[in-house]
A and B are shown apart, each in its own frame.
Chain A
Amino acid sequence: MLIRLEPRAEASRAMVYQSPLIAVVLTLIAGMIMFRIMGTDPLQAVHAFFIEPISTLDGVAELLVKATPLILIGVGLSLGFQANIWNIGAEGQLTLGAIFGGVVALAFFDVESVFLLPAMLIAGIIGGMLWAAVPAFLKARYNTNEILTSLMLVYVSFLLLSFLITGPLRDPDGFNFPESRLFHDSAVLPIILEGTRLHIGFLVALLFAVLAWLMIVKHIIGFQIKVIGMAPAAASFAGFKEKKLIWLTLLISGGAAGLAGAIEVSGPIGQVIPVVSPGYGFTAIIVAFLGRLNPVGVILAGILMALTYLGGDSAQITMNLPNAVTGVFQGMLLFFLLASDVLIRYRIRLGALRVREVTPRQEGVT
């Protein structure tokens, strides 16, 4: 028997949403085979990886804490990605957001005010936007490749944070260790679930996703973003201003990443430290695509990706599995997603090739 891929006349809408699910199922199956080969009980390992982390209320709260920056950044990036504007530097914009938010918290150290937290978050948004404005300007003005410029600025941001944290932002009572003092209470995000670390930042991320969704489906800007991504020539013919969209999408995604940075330092971390994020800005790129560049999809994808991190911890704790399992799972998930996406444009046909079905189209893969 032969398995063939036959091109579809039209991209399958159903498959757009089904392929992530297929990818998850395939990842689970491949993961179980891997566990089997490693000599551990596959069911027990999958349980430790995917079920155990969320078997308690605290675990669910931690899952949402971990997903918060991924959702914020992923939703922001997905807007630009739909318009073929590739902001790869969210990690740097996040770092700037953390710096700006942290500077506000430390500048007003011990000041009790309800305005302090909003000021920190707004400062974070501004920081992220400023960092994204550089690639936006270069692309709009000189047509530079924003993939390179935004990525390079990530490394600049790390050095900037490193400079600040070993100097001006350093805790004066901290024996010269590179970290700031702990933020005082009114500079720390309120907890929304008593006894856990789940903070209000998660609601901010959900709100942002809703706003982004409204913009995409209800607002003319969203329409322009989609058109410019799918048919740039048509967009310019229709008189859409491409430069405006470059600025808009980069500033929104940069601002969202900056907000995520400010939320991280004022939420679960509670101080400025030399490395604020374990790569959320890069992981969010996977999250955006896994979520089909759709805000609701990004929320689900962000939670799923967060689960692979938590699962990695608990697999180490309860099963003594190596940390590398986390990376393998994330890699497989992306790999299977890319593979499953083939089903959007092709359908699987079983059976031998029949002569009358041979068409001149060359894109069919056998």
Chain B
Amino acid sequence: MKRFNKLASLTAVALATATMAMSGGAQAQSDPLKVGFVYVGPIGDHGWSYEHNQGRLALEKEFGDKVQTTFVEKVPEGADAQRVINQLATSGHDLIFTTSFGYMNPTLRVAKNHPDVHFEHATGFKRDKNVATYSGRFYEGRHVAGLIAGKMTKTNTIGYVASFPIPEVIRGINAVAIAARSVNPDVKIKVVWVSSWFDPGKEADAAKTMIDQGVDIIMQHTDSPAPIQVAESRGVWAVGQASNMSAFGSKAHLTAIIDNWSPYYVARTKAVLDKTWDSTDTWGGFKSGMVQMAPYNEAIPADVVALAETARKGIIDGSVHPFAGPIKDQSGKIVVPAGEVASDGMLLGMDFYVEGVDGKIPN
């Protein structure tokens, strides 16, 4: 539990710093606010970076000539990230979104040297006076997708193309397992790790392998549409990741979990314009609109759609929690007792599989 204590103390620090008022950047009325974005992938990945870029475009639409946006794509998560972030900070950007986990330490280093610039880091856990963090509760979307998958599978085997064994990805796998087994207790989840966020070749190979092993629904926590294309050509179902991927396989595409960053980006930009920005930690789900479901495939029976929609609305009004007890881990031990739900701390540090997931977490 040491990790969770650490998390608690981190959160406390973040809250303390959040209350300190930020001195907004000295911004002349006529100059547009310069907002910079750093992307890990190409904006044409049709997944993660694509959706962040949609958020950037939403800013331009919302604020018109009050803002001026810049982006740098395909920035490696190493020595280069700090240079690029620093270059944005020194070239007059007042608000900088760094949209990949690997930018965490570079963002913090640059932020220290630029106390007047506001930084927003996606998916990280370290904050500072001028560094806020944000991420989506994508597991809420996985819950809905898991319910549909549990109903639609004929072979009772769901395949999952996974990137790296970090809590966020494991959380998604578990959310699918719990939801699918709640409507179909025979469901098993197979996981293949591809050690990449974006590698169409490897993602496609993983999908093919699992289909050969009897999987009839492909889910993914990687960013390319390659698994959807494989599912389409092999005649099985698939669930899209990050953006609506139905264009890559309209028959296979059951739905997709959409990361919708636009409302958050608009709100944070407005906060800088109004000089009300402070360092916060945001973890938004269906309710805030940060996570959305793509239109359901017409082949899904009406009662399954109704089930999915009930769950989605339940999550919004708080009556449904994707990690409601009783939850058992792979050994059958109860980790969340009946009548309780998993805490955010447990979700953020999740490093175990629940019952119904095949295999072991690579370690």
Contact = CB atoms under 8 A, between A and B. Distances in A.
How many A residues touch the partner, as a band? Answer: 35 or more
Contacts of A166: 164-165, 362-363
Interface in B63-115: 70-80, 82-84, 86-88, 90-91, 101-102, 105
B8 to A, nearest CB: 13
B282 interface: no
Contacts of A276: 78
A173 B6 contact: yes
The range of chain B's interface size is: 35 or more
Contacts of B82: 197, 268
Contact of A309 (B80, B165, B351): B80
A313 B72 contact: yes
B195 interface: yes
A316 B102 CA distance: 21
B167 interface: yes
A174 to B, nearest CB: 8
A314 interface: yes
Contacts of A23: none
B20 to A, nearest CB: 24
A182 interface: yes
A62 B83 contact: yes
A162 B164 CA distance: 10
B77 A178 contact: no
Interface stretch (A106-114, A141-149, A317-325): A317-325
A173 B5 CA distance: 10
B79 A175 contact: no
B79 A264 contact: yes
Interface string B1-27: 001001100000000000000000000
B125 A175 contact: yes
Contacts of B362: 166
Contacts of A167: 363
Contacts of B90: 56, 58
A267 B80 CA distance: 12
B164 A173 contact: no
Given A178-B164, A273-B77, A317 B72 contact: yes
B147 to A, nearest CB: 27
Contacts of B80: 66, 278, 309
B335 interface: no
B200 interface: no
B42 A313 contact: no
B21 to A, nearest CB: 28
B59 to A, nearest CB: 15
Contact of B83 (A162, A177, A179, A310): A310
9 contacts: A65-B79, A166-B363, A167-B363, A176-B351, A273-B78, A274-B77, A313-B72, A313-B84, A317-B88
Interface of A: 56, 58, 62, 65-66, 162, 166-167, 173, 175-179, 182, 197, 264, 267-271, 273-278, 309-310, 313-314, 316-318, 320, 322-323
Given A177-B166, A314-B87, A317-B88, 19 more contacts: A58-B86, A66-B79, A166-B362, A175-B3, A175-B349, A176-B170, A176-B349, A177-B101, A178-B164, A179-B102, A197-B82, A269-B79, A275-B78, A278-B80, A310-B83, A313-B84, A313-B87, A316-B72, A316-B73
Q: Which 6 A-B pairs have the closest CB atoms?
A: A268-B79, A278-B76, A323-B73, A316-B72, A323-B74, A62-B83
